[in-house]
Amino acid sequence: MGRDRQHLHQNATRGVRRKRGRQTQAIGRSRGGWTTKVYALTAVIGRAYALMLTAGNVSDVKAAPALLERAGRMRYLIADKGYDADRLRRWLRDAGVVPVIPGRRNRKRTVRYDKQRFRGRHLIENAFCRLNDFRRVATRYDKLAANFLAGVPIAITIAFWL
């Protein structure tokens, strides 16, 4: 009886199977599974103008310099505790930007920040809430990062400009 090549081995292949394309497509392991993070900078009125996409397991502090390079000139950067790092604060001050970032709870030395100005951070949260109203963006139907990141500005345009 002739045997097919497929049936010669009873077990799985011995070679290491690698999952191709997860890093290049900005998909990373997070607590909830495989996810993606969308980073955005908003203007004073809450409209997003600079976007970036990373894997879900990339920390905010690591992604911040690449996003801030796209920002252009700004006077204040309002961000949450995920961006609390001495290195980022130093980089912002050297660029002439005042960081409005509260310190983390486990910080040894407390950080002073403008609490009145920090109240404006709700604008970025509102922008992401509007963005997640679009099912295509909230669930990331697109496998390719380029296609997904092309859909995000379309959703932003519909949500904020129309």
Residue 7 within any structural domain of the chain: no
CATH number of the domain within which 116 lies: 3.30.420
Asked if 85 contacts 59 with a C-beta cutoff of 8 angstroms, the reply is no
Asked if 123 contacts 80 with a C-beta cutoff of 8 angstroms, the reply is no
Q: Give residue-wise pLDDT tens across range 16-54.
A: 555 556 657 887 777 777 888 899 998 888 888 889 999
What is the average per-residue pLDDT within 1-18?
55
Q: What percent of the chain has a predicted confidence (pLDDT) above 70?
A: 86
Residue 26 within any structural domain of the chain: yes
Q: Give residue-wise pLDDT tens across range 55-76.
A: 888 899 999 999 998 888 899 9
Render the burial of 94-110: b for 16+ CB within 10 Å, e for the rest: eeebbbbbbeeeeeeee
Q: Give the Cα-Cα-Cα angle 16, 21, 24 (nearest 5 degrees).
A: 135
Residue 1 within any structural domain of the chain: no
Residue 16 within any structural domain of the chain: no
Q: What percent of the chain has a predicted confidence (pLDDT) above 90?
A: 40
> Which residues share a beta bridge with 28?
35
pLDDT of residue 27: 79
Q: How many domains does the chain have?
A: 1
Residue ranges making up the domain that contains 117: 21-161
Residue 103 within any structural domain of the chain: yes
